[in-house]
Amino acid sequence: MKLIDLYQLVVKKGIAKDPRPKAEIKDELKKAGLEFRKAKGADKKTFDRERLSNPYADTRILYGDISRDIRTIMVGIDMEGPELLAADRLNEKGANIDLVMAHHPEGPAWARFYDVMKLQIAILKRLGLAKEVAEGLLKDRMQEVERAVAPANHTRSVDIARLIDMPYMCVHTPADNHVTYYLQKVFDKKKPRDLGQVLKILKNIPEYADGLKKNAGPRILIGDPKKKAGKIFVDMTGGTEGPRKVFSRLSQAGVGTIVAMHLSEEHFKHAKEEFINVIIAGHIASDTLGLNLLLDEIEKVEDIKVIPCSGFVRVKR
């Protein structure tokens, strides 16, 4: 499989599991096309043309010849300078790694990853919130995240990949879409009555069982095992945590339990005030599940060798 084919495949699979209607995704790509056509001068030259076909700003080929054949991939959650150098060292020992794939965004994908938070608007709409309310809640949070990432040295790891000539890409929201879709489907089907049952379901999933062994598995953050679960909302895609003020709206929409990767202290306080149960599934375990589901889809098309690294454990289904 060529690098460009792999990249286009993960975008395609991400769209297949996207919570938004396909027409909404097409509209977003059309808007990017209109923006590109109207751009002039430096804005035209520097326009990110991937936006014309890829709705995920946090998923990009960061370095490498797009026509290169990919047979062996080193995959991990955070793949930065040390992991790139490790891949280069392994190649000296005969590993023949063709690509380093990160989950968390790097380079330009990190600099603009806040853009995928727009996906959360669709999720909130599906929960019953009005579009105007959802957009209003997300606007300030997106700007907050944009300000937070702006000062970072985004290209450090990309520069290392270029210096050692190691193909490099990151796949964030397409993987997160997979874990969100998978878990929501499981909970909707099994309909656990209480938090204890929710926790039991998670613990029986291999990635979360592995997380438990590493003291980073699922746990109840707000609530207790015998407390009624109610309507379960799996909150694991859309770039990062949403707005803090959303919890009162979720409560009004009938959400009883949130299953999330992680929750900041401020988000925790707001959720507790609204008496919403929260189960933290585990950040790295959840990212690992999403990557595994996506890799399973890739391997249906092409047989590839995966070398796990940086918190990632390969589990095939």
Query: 223-246: buried (b, 16+ CB within 10 Å) or exposed (e) per residue?
Result: beeebebeebbbbbbbbbbbbbeb
Token reading at 204: 């029986």
Q: Whole-prediction pTM value?
A: 0.94
Residue 254, pLDDT > 90, answer no
- Classify domain 178-283 at the CATH topology level: 3.40.1390
Task: Kindly report which listed range (123-127, 225-229, 285-289, 306-310) carries the lowest average pLDDT score.
Answer: 123-127
Determine the average pLDDT of the residues in 257-285.
90
* Architecture category of domain 3-172+287-309 in CATH: 3-Layer(aba) Sandwich (3.40)
Please report the pLDDT score of residue 75 as a whole number.
98
- In the chain, CATH 3.40.1390.30 sits at 3-172+287-309, 178-283
Q: Is the dihedral of CA 268, 274, 275, 278 positive or negative?
A: negative
Q: What is the C-alpha to C-alpha distance for residues 136 and 139, in angstroms, rounded to an integer?
A: 5
Distance from CA of residue 119 to its chain's centroid? Answer: 11
- Per DSSP, what are the bridge partners of residue 101? 75, 169
Token reading at 88: 């280069």
Q: What is the C-alpha to C-alpha distance for residues 267 and 262, in angstroms, rounded to an integer?
A: 10
Please give the share of the chain, as a percent, with pLDDT higher than 90: 81
Angle in degrees, 0-180, between the axes of helices 283-301 and 3-16, rounded to the nearest 10: 120
Q: Write the CB contacts of 255 (distance below 8 Å, at least 6 apart in sequence).
A: 127, 230, 231, 232, 233, 276
pLDDT tens, residue by residue, 166-202? 999 999 999 999 999 999 999 999 999 999 999 999 9
Q: Comparing 243 with 34, which gets the higher pLDDT?
A: 34
